[in-house]
Chains A and B, each alone.
Chain A
Amino acid sequence: MLGMHGSSADLNPLASHRDNCLKLNYLAERQQQLCGLSENVLTAISTGARLSIDECQHQFRNSRWNCSTFSNAGNVFGGVLSVHSRETAFIYAISAAGVAYAVTRACSRGELNECSCDSRVRVRKTKKKWQWGGCSEDIRFGEKFSRDFVDSKETGDSPGGLMNLHNNEAGRRSIRSRMERVCKCHGMSGSCSVRVCWRKLPPFRVLGDALAQAYEGATQVRLSDKRRRHTKSKRLRAVSREIKPPNRTDLVYLEESPDYCERNDTMGILGTKGRVCNRTSPGLDGCRLLCCGRGHNTRMKEVEEKCQCKFVWCCKVQCQTCRVRGEEHTCK
């Protein structure tokens, strides 16, 4: 999906970027056009993809499904995406957010011709004793680009497409509300008589945490069959009336997740056999839940660590290596 391969190794550096983009046959037509806009667009997109994959793996490092990726699969995540599950919802959201994030960052760095800093922020009025200034990062452009690029593969005809569109948007929205304001004082000898502030993207980890939270509270939805008076547009609704209807920042999914316990090659599920688990944790990383009741093996493991480090004038640090014995538990 979405050109998440992110590698430009197979591209010919001598050919124009436009030709290179046309070669990427996993991109949709619109995506190829966007890619061909300028040289750095592809770099920005692949940075975004990389960011989101890393973040996904960080957020799911303790879960049964640990966001494993496959280099040979048609899409990066294997068959997991074929189920419209909560995990799929998360992947779509974080990928859309990743693209918006990376493009926004590229804009403020001046790497893209189509955009730069957010000029609209500067004209806003401020109540207190500071002014807008500097380079505010233009998240609106990033969002727009991500909408244009990521959403171009989806159509709103099918429940699955609607779900993906919703989750893409939720991923992008997660950034906007978390923009940070950074200020700097420019007065005499650092005094704050003149204070200039600008808007900055949050660390991507913050977005990952927020989306992981949304993943936990994702809403199961179904396609509503009701036809409204004027529009025939299809909508997703929560499966039960009692459940709070999902808003635009909530993740939605259609199907229950598989349990990810056993290996399933067609689905691209690796299973939890051999995963390292925590014997004492009651949470998902604990052996009991992670190993799905199959039990765990324990072995003693010696790890070499640097220890008793000393600072020696000037300027190096001397360490000894210590061997530390520890237990390692792996799922059966």
Chain B
Amino acid sequence: MACTACTGLPPPRLALPLPLPLLLLSLLLRAPPASAANANWMYLGLVGVPPPLQQAAPQGSGEGEGADGLVVEDPELAEARAVCGSLPGLVGAQTNVCMEHPSAIRPIAEGARRGIQECQFQFRHERWNCSTNEREQSVFGYILERGSKETAFIYAVTSAGVAHAITQACSGGELTDCGCDPGRADQRTTPQGWKWGGCSDNLEYGLQFSRKFVDAPERGRHNSVDPKDPLKDPKARKTYAVRARMNLHNNEAGRQVVSSLLRMHCRCHGVSGSCELKTCWRTLPAFSEVGDLLKRKYRQAVQITSPRGRRRMRRKSKNPRSGGSGNQSNRGGRNKWKRSLSKGDLVHIHKSPDYCVTDPARGIAGTSGRACNKTGSGAQSCDLLCCGRGYNTQVVKHVERCHCKFVWCCYVTCKTCETVMDRHTCK
């Protein structure tokens, strides 16, 4: 059931000969046996898409793909196989999507990269800083397995990333299957007196594509009837089903955020800029906006349980965020509980670990050695980041060019300035 892609060629980064200590370390880091099996498509965001294999002849990848009967291969199919065959971390259904749309794999990798980068930006000051492990195909290791708020964020942001990148690729003409939004291309005038014009981003396509590709691992495994599946045990199966539902919900929440941020841009084309003629088109938000909104949703993520025999998820706590002080807020809390989950909420099952201390088995890097802010009270302050362990101070010399002058003609002379700064890192 695991990824068919992995059985083909190893991903190029892994093929590099590692020095022995590094190799041992990487083996150690992979200590949990599950992580190797849980290679993830997000890995594409780290390593990118390798250039297609030069010799288009399928080597060894033919067995699993049902290509037995083909004697002369369609050149397009051969190319698709060359691109999709060597990708790390894809499950069967995802490889199929790739085979159908080989040119989409670059935007997918770009989407994953965008998601991971945004995650690292949003969490740059927090104890968990969205650190990735390039030697591990599951990218986030244990954090992705845990089912905590952080897991929810990763799923949402990468799924949003794919929708975003695919939609942009559509508008940019990089994909053959899609272009600008056809629904908004007709030249009719709207009742408000403006016209759709320009190139509206075809987000609907991006969302559908993200659903098809990103959701595939959850759906595929959810419905699997493979007798060799390790999830034969009903209990493990149930946990997995709950987790799959959580992941699907968060994937969808990420996409929801993108579509909620879709903007309309208009331009006037009249004489000297007057608005006699006005055309409007829809544009995607900058991905950083998506990240900001998702971060806000992360802070308000809802812990859920899935009661036995019910398919619907529900909130775990009766009053999720109210401190329970006073009657009024209590009542509000009960209402909140009754209120069903909205599509845009991030949901999680387990609480987060504190991420303070290094725990290689769980892929937690810990905050030791992280740079922190001596004054201030935010998440980046040494107070919060160092978990009470205190911080070390280093004196760092910062050498830069300064007092630059232009000398006729034509060069620039600079002095070098040294500034000495204190750098604080957690103990």
The residue on B at minimum CB distance from A288 is B354
Known contacts A219-B393, A244-B395, A289-B388; is A283 also within 8 Å of B383 by CB?
yes
- Whether a CB of chain B sits under 8 angstroms from the CB of A86 is yes
Among listed B26-34, B259-267, B320-328, interface-contacting one: B320-328
**B392 in contact (CB, < 8 A):** yes
Indicate if B54 sits at the interface (CB-CB under 8 A).
no
The residue from B323, B374, B394 contacting A243, defined by CB atoms under 8 A apart: B394
Name the residue in B127, B386, B388, B424 with the highest tally of chain A Cβ atoms < 10 Å from its Cβ: B388
> Would you give the shortest CB distance from B373 to chain A, in whole angstroms?
11
Q: Does B2 contact A (CB under 8 A)?
A: no
Segment touching B, from A21-29, A179-187, A320-328: A320-328
Per-residue CB proximity of B377-397 to A under 8 Å, as 1/0? 001001110111011111100
**B 294-318 contacts with A by CB, 8 A:** none
Query: Is B65 positioned at the interface, with any CB of A under 8 Å from its CB?
Result: no
Q: Which of B326, B387, B392, B394 has most chain A Cβ within 10 Å?
A: B392
Q: Does B356 contact A (CB under 8 A)?
A: yes
CA distance A305 to B17 in the complex (A): 70
Q: How far is the CB of B67 from chain A (nearest CB, A)?
A: 53
A100 to chain B, nearest CB (A): 25
Contacts of A324 in B (CB 8 A): 325-326
Q: Which of A215, A216, A219, A325 has the most CB of B within 10 A?
A: A216
A219-B392 in contact given A244-B422, A282-B384, A283-B383 (Cβ < 8 Å)? yes
Contact A217 B387 (CB under 8 A): no
Chain B residues, Cβ within 8 Å of A288: 354
The reply to whether A327 and B388 form a contact with Cβ atoms under 8 Å apart is no
CB-based nearest A residue for B354: A288
Whole-angstrom CA separation of A278 from B382 in the bound complex: 19
Report the Cα distance A90→B354, complex, angstroms.
Answer: 26
- Shortest beta-carbon distance, B202 to chain A, in Å? 41
Chain B CB within 8 A of A84 CB: no
Are A216 and B382 neighbours in the complex by a CB distance under 8 Å? yes
Which A37-71 residues sit within 8 Å CB-CB of chain B? 63-64
Contact at B325–A326, with CB atoms within 8 Å?
Answer: yes
Alpha-carbon distance between A282 and B381 when the two chains are bound, in angstroms: 12
Please judge, given known A-B contacts A289-B354, A327-B325, whether A217 and B383 are in contact too, CB under 8 Å: no
Of all chain B residues, which has the CB nearest A328? B324
State whether the Cβ of A277 lies closer than 8 Å to any Cβ in chain B.
no
In the bound complex, residues from chain B placing their C-beta under 8 Å from that of A215 are: 390
Q: How many residues of B contact A (CB 8 A)?
A: 26
B108 to chain A, nearest CB (A): 35
Q: For residues 235 through 284 of chain A, which have their beta carbon under 8 Å from a beta carbon of chain B?
A: 242-244, 279-280, 282-284
Q: Distance (Å) between the CB of B165 and the closest chain A CB?
A: 33
Contact B383–A216 (Cβ < 8 Å) = yes
B401 shortest CB reach to chain A, Å: 26
**In the complex, chain A residues whose CB is within 8 Å of the CB of B384:** 282-283
- Which residue from chain A places its CB closest to the CB of B395 in the assembled complex? A244
Our pick among A243, A284, A325 for the contact of B393 (Cβ within 8 Å) is: A243
B391 touches A217 (CB 8 A): yes
CB contacts (< 8 Å) of A283 on chain B: these are: 383-384
**Contacts known (A289-B354, A327-B325); A284 close to B392, Cβ less than 8 A:** no
The residue of chain B having its C-beta at the shortest distance from the C-beta of A65 within the complex is: B388
Complex CA–CA separation, A283 to B127 (angstroms): 11
Separation in Å of the B370 CB from the closest CB of chain A?
A: 14
Question: A33 near B: Cβ within 8 Å?
Answer: no
Partner of B388, one of A218, A279, A284, A300: A284
**Within 8 Å CB of A243, what residues of B?**
392-394
Complex CA–CA separation, A326 to B374 (angstroms): 34
Closest to A245 in B: B395
How far does the Cβ of A238 sit from chain B's closest Cβ, in whole Å? Answer: 9
A216 to B384, alpha carbons, bound, how many Å?
11
> Is there an interface contact between A217 and B382, defined as CB atoms closer than 8 Å?
yes
- Check B379–A86 contact: CB distance below 8 A: no
Residues of A within 8 A of B326 (CB): 324-326
Residue on A nearest B386 in the bound complex, by CB: A216
For B393, the chain A residues whose CB sits under 8 A away are: 217, 219, 243-244
* B392 and A326 form a contact (CB under 8 A): no
> Which residues of A (58-99) have their CB < 8 Å from a CB of B?
63-64, 86
- Cβ of A158 within 8 Å of any chain B Cβ, yes or no, is no
Query: Which A296-314 residues sit within 8 Å CB-CB of chain B?
Result: 300
Say how far A304's CB is from chain B's closest CB, in angstroms: 14
What residues on B are CB-neighbors of A325 within 8 Å?
324-327, 330
Residues of B within 8 A of A213 (CB): 374
How long is the Cα–Cα vector from A279 to B325 in the complex, in angstroms?
A: 13
Instruction: For the complex, give the distance between the alpha carbons of A10 and B413 in Å.
Output: 78
CB-contact partner of A289 in B356, B379, B395, under 8 A: B356
Partner of B394, one of A218, A242, A279, A326: A242
Chain A residues, CB < 8 A from B388: 63-64, 284, 289
Contact call A279/B323, Cβ cutoff below 8 A: yes
A324-B326, A326-B325 are contacts. A289–B387 as well, Cβ < 8 Å? yes
Q: How far is the CB of A245 from chain B (nearest CB, A)?
A: 9
Which 6 residue pairs are nearest across A and B when measured between Cβ atoms? Answer: A327-B324, A244-B393, A284-B388, A244-B395, A326-B325, A216-B390
**14 A-B contacts (beta carbon < 8 Å):** A216-B382, A216-B386, A217-B382, A217-B393, A219-B392, A244-B422, A282-B384, A283-B384, A325-B324, A325-B325, A325-B327, A326-B325, A327-B323, A327-B325
Q: Beyond the given A216-B383, A289-B387, could you list 5 further A-B residue pairs with CB under 8 A, ordered by the A residue number?
A: A215-B390, A244-B394, A244-B422, A284-B387, A300-B324
